[in-house]
Amino acid sequence: MSPYKTITVREEKDTMVVCVGGYLNSLLGEEVEKVVRARLDAGGRRILLSFQGTRLGNSIGISFVIGVVEKVMEQEGRMAFCEVSRINRDLFRVTGLEKYVRSFETEKEALDFLAGNA
């Protein structure tokens, strides 16, 4: 895998945590879409995207994230973001993503929300 795109995936109870690292462009966005789609196809409905390792993205990368959000909503799933950089938070606001997906400062807060504990 290229040093410019890294995805790590792990399970936290019923939630798939996708840790996104690197520059959020078409390559990284496509990888995020693949792992989320596979999870939804397998019946999973809770998705957390952690952007701790991502400080910047371009419009194509953001468009993949929008597509992921749409897929989760179509499947009546729950989704959250965490550890989003200021610039990506601004991009999510401008694109309207913040209307559909809550962002949290920490992974624990996001996992609590997805589990219904927040």
Q: Is the pLDDT of residue 1 over 50?
A: no
The 8-class DSSP code of residue 13 comes to: T
Q: Is the pLDDT of residue 96 over 50?
A: yes
pLDDT digits (tens, 9 = 90+) for 14-56: 999 999 998 889 889 999 999 999 999 999 999 999 999 888 8
Q: The whole model's pTM is what?
A: 0.91
Q: Is the pLDDT of residue 4 over 70?
A: no
pLDDT band at 59 (very low <50, low <70, confident <90, very high): confident
Can you tell me whether residue 45 is helix, strand or coil?
coil
Q: Which two tokens stand for residue 56?
A: 């910047």
pLDDT band at 5 (very low <50, low <70, confident <90, very high): low
> Which class for 45: exposed (0-12), middle (13-18), buried (19 or more C-beta within 10 A)?
middle
Fold of 5-114: Transcription Regulator spoIIAA (3.30.750)
Q: What is the mean pLDDT of residues 76-88?
A: 94
pLDDT digits (tens, 9 = 90+) for 100-115: 999 999 999 999 999 9
